[in-house]
Amino acid sequence: MALQQYNIYAGLSPCRVVATTNQAGTYVNGPLNNGVNATLTYATGVLTIDSVVVIVGDSVCLIGQTNDNENGIYVCIVTGAVGVAAVLQRRHDMQCIEQIREGMWTTIGAGTVSAGTMVVVVEPLPARFGIDDLILTSAIGAGSGTASTKAASDNAQPTVASVVGATLANHVTVFADTAGSIKEADAAATLEQNLAVTGTVVASGAITSTAGNITSGSSGDLGTFISFAPTAANGTLILAAANAGAAFNTTISNGSMTQSTVYTISDILAATGNIPVSTSAVRMKMVPDVAVAGGSATSTITDAFCTAASVVLAFWQTQTNAAVTRLILPAAGSFNIVTDVDPGSSTINYLIFK
């Protein structure tokens, strides 16, 4: 004898809302304790599920009851109000064991979180309806849900912050809406390969490229790197490219260093200025307001940067006695300033080139 299996439509009538957390109330499994006309009675007050006020006639799907035997599809038969208890009654297409099969599903039409989701009946089915556990699960994430449940064609993009421990591999393109942004992932999440973002990338922590480049802008589209000062309203450091006249690149790089060094660009007291650059291995050191004790027409300034082959420029900042510089003699580790008279206790600014 040959057996044949026929397709049976597994879709149930849609529900307006779904409650994914426990709904506190009094459950009665129907007059015959078999689920038929079973009810869940709330305390008095307006019944709101997923930001939707439930009214008479609304289909409500319960999937997160503490007592799993209470899960299922209900219809609101009494609207909650002040002094009035809301009452849900099992919907006629899901109130006995003969009506349910594994894989049957319903869709959710409203709700801040769950609108657009699908709920599915999963194994094992209860042997006694309304007494044994009935398990329903959300199968498809909503448009405002997390990245782990998004369809590739869904335009309502999630934030990366909603991915916990997930890996987005290969090429990911994200279009943030005017109110949205791409936020940093948690410590266990990674974005591998290429991430193309149209919009703003916001991170409350560090953004690090362990291998590869960080690029701002593209050919024909200006991009800048902006670094803020540690104190509020104290300006920024901006790195921005200007037209070079052709496809010429400018690279700022360090040489071989014997110590960690901080370079400071001083205020030139003008809106624009130039930084002198040499094609040879010339180094320069500028020191302001160096104290000169005086007592002689020859003043010795000690500076390890100086060599006998250095070029030294010195300018008096203050002088006790009006002295005119006659000669500057560089030496290894110091230089002498020879003046026409003893300058006395004074200060001097100098530049050393070598």
- Cβ-contact 168, 192 below 8 angstroms: yes
- DSSP state at residue 71: -
How far is CA 84 from its chain centroid?
46
Closest CA to 324 of 338, 313, 336: 338
Query: DSSP string spanning 102-168?
Result: TT-EEEB---TTTTT-EEEE-SSPPSSTTTS---EEEEE--TTS-GGG--TT-SS---GGG-SS-EE
How far is CA 347 from its chain centroid?
52
Residue 219, pLDDT score: 82
What are the residue ranges spanned by the domains of the chain?
A: 17-140, 147-202, 284-353
In the chain (354 residues long), the average pLDDT of successive 10-residue segments reads 66 94 95 94 94 96 95 96 94 91 93 92 93 88 43 47 48 48 50 63 77 82 88 91 88 88 82 76 87 95 94 95 96 96 96 92
Residue 41, pLDDT score: 96
Tokens of 107: 């869709």
Q: Distance between CA atoms of 29 and 32, rounded to whole angstroms?
A: 8
Q: Is the pTM of this model over 0.85?
A: no
**Residue 291 CB contacts under 8 Å (≥ 6 apart), including other chains:** 345, 346, 347
Residue 154, pLDDT score: 47
Residue 212, pLDDT score: 79
The SS3 assignment for 70 reads helix
Alpha-carbon distance values, 260 to 100, 237, 239, 254, 338 (Å):
73, 21, 22, 11, 35
Residue 47, pLDDT score: 95
Residue 6, pLDDT score: 61
Cα angle at 168 between 162 and 174, to 5 degrees? Answer: 70
Q: What is the dihedral of CA 182, 184, 189, 192, to 10 degrees?
A: 60
Alpha-carbon distance values, 314 to 71, 140, 218, 265, 286 (Å):
88, 76, 46, 20, 10
Alpha-carbon distance values, 116 to 91, 106, 112 (Å):
20, 10, 10
Residue 192, pLDDT score: 55
**Residue 335 CB contacts under 8 Å (≥ 6 apart), including other chains:** 300, 301, 303, 306, 310, 312, 314, 328, 329, 350, 352
Closest CA to 27 of 73, 90, 70: 70
